[in-house]
Structure 1
Amino acid sequence: MTDHPPVPPFTRETAIQKIRMAEDGWNSRDPHKVSLAYSEDSRWRNRSEFVTGREEIVEFLSRKWERELEYRLIKELWAFGDDRIAVRFAYESRDTDGNWFRSYGNENWEFNPDGLMAVRHASINDVPIAESDRKYHWPLGRRPDGHPGLSELGL
């Protein structure tokens, strides 16, 4: 198997790098690309849904991004250990009726020695927001360098 750097054990710098790589992947909204950051047998708990393996990850993300339109995400380091990273995040999206939401959450990640995420636990809360309350206005895709993070935005 090929390593997916950075690999455990993590330092503060490599944990932050791993988080930005995950954020960039999710902001691509490409389920197949995103799934490659996870082990073949990766196990997820996302809200109340349980997902196992890359095929189910692709199916899950495809459904997610069909209903969460104009999805933009920011992730931030909360804590890290040798092979684990805790992340807080917030994303904005709208539904097909044009209603906007900011979704806040925490993720706990565990990585295998190759740097692939083997376990992901996500707890997420959705808050309706007015379109005028949006804070993420970059073009769809990767958050630009220099764009404020969660702490700078007061989120």
Structure 2
Amino acid sequence: MSSRPPLPPFSEETAIQKVRAAENAWNLRNPEAVSLAYTTDTRWRNRDVFVNGRDEVVGFLTQKWQRELDYRLIKELWAYTGHRIAVRFVYECHNADGQWFRSHGNENWEFDEFGLMRVRRASINDQAINESDRLFHWDAPGPRPDDHPGLTELGL
């Protein structure tokens, strides 16, 4: 089995690396590539949707990014211990009608010994915003540039 460093048990430094790697992958919006960070039997709860296994992850993310246009995500480490990481995140996107949203959420992650995520639990709240209120500005799809402020710096 291939591993996905950094591996647990996590230090603050390796937990931050894991969070940024996840953020970067999701900002590329490639469902197949993102799914490889999860165990083949991964279990998710995303809002009120339950996802089981990599194939369902691919389907879920494909549909997500068809609905959530111009998606840009920032994640920040909240806490870590052993093989678990808690993350807070915010993403901005718009729907097909042009309405922009800022979505605020928390995730709890659990990893196997190979650094693959086996459990992901996400709670998310959506806030309608005007396009002029957007805070996430970088070329997408693609990772957030290193000089773009994070959540704390943006006051989110």
Identical amino acids, percent of aligned pairs: 66
**Structure 2 CA distance, aligned partners of 1:151 and 1:36?**
29
Does the alignment pair 1:50 with 2:17?
no
Residue matched to 1:105? 105
Residue matched to 1:34? 34
Residue matched to 1:151? 152
**Structure 1 CA distance, aligned partners of 2:80 and 2:137?**
29
1:3 match: secondary structure:
coil
Q: Offset at 1:3?
A: 1.3
The count of corresponding residues between Structure 1 and Structure 2 is: 155
Correspondence 1:16-27 to 2 at 5 A? 16-27=16-27
Q: State the Cα deviation string for residues 80-110 of structure 1 (Å, max 9, x = none).
A: 0000000000000000000000000000000
1:18 match: secondary structure:
helix
Q: Offset at 1:148?
A: 0.4
Q: Which runs of 4+ in 1 moved over 2 A?
A: none
1:142 match: secondary structure:
coil
1:137 match: secondary structure:
coil
**Structure 2 CA distance, aligned partners of 1:9 and 1:3?**
14
1:97 match: secondary structure:
coil
- Structure-1-length-normalised TM-score: 0.99
Q: Offset at 1:146?
A: 1.4
* Structure 1: tracts of 5 or more residues without a match: none
1:119 match: secondary structure:
strand
- Structure-2-length-normalised TM-score: 0.99
**Structure 1 CA distance, aligned partners of 2:12 and 2:137?**
28
Does the alignment pair 1:85 with 2:122?
no
Q: State the Cα deviation string for residues 96-149 of structure 1 (Å, max 9, x = none).
A: 000000000000000000000000000000000000000011010110011100
Residue matched to 1:137? 137
2:87 match: secondary structure:
strand
1:122 match: secondary structure:
strand
Residue matched to 1:119? 119
Amino acid at match of 2:98: G
2:22 match: secondary structure:
helix
**Structure 2 CA distance, aligned partners of 1:131 and 1:137?**
11
Amino acid at match of 2:123: S
Aligned-residue Cα RMSD (Å) equals: 0.4
* Structure 2: tracts of 5 or more residues without a match: none
